[in-house]
């Protein structure tokens, strides 16, 4: 059982990093492009995963602020929507 735990921890770190890299926007990851981090994490799971968590993860303020692809940021309320105001 003791020999299985480190393997599971490295596997969990690798899965976390891969999911984080894939979900991050192209400009959100730091210090390397997304494909570079992905290769580093997949070829060197422990060292690459730790390096990504320390030096590559998006900054805390950048997460959740991006607009989904193909969509423009919408108005905050009805008084900010020009189409709505034109229809009044």
26-62: per-residue pLDDT in tens? Answer: 788 888 888 999 999 999 999 999 999 898 887 766 5
| pTM, 2 dp | 0.65
53-82: per-residue pLDDT in tens? Answer: 898 887 766 555 555 566 666 656 777 777
CA distances to 5, 24, 25, 48 from 63, in Å: 30, 8, 9, 21
């Amino acid at each position: 059982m003791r020999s299985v735990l480190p393997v599971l921890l490295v596997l969990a770190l690798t899965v976390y990093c891969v999911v984080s890299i894939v979900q991050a926007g192209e400009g959100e990851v730091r210090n390397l492009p997304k494909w570079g981090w992905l290769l580093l994490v997949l070829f060197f799971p422990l060292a690459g995963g730790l390096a990504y968590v320390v030096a590559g993860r998006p900054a805390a303020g950048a997460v959740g602020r991006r607009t989904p692809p193909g969509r423009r940021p919408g108005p905050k309320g009805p008084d900010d929507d020009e189409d709505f105001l034109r229809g009044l």
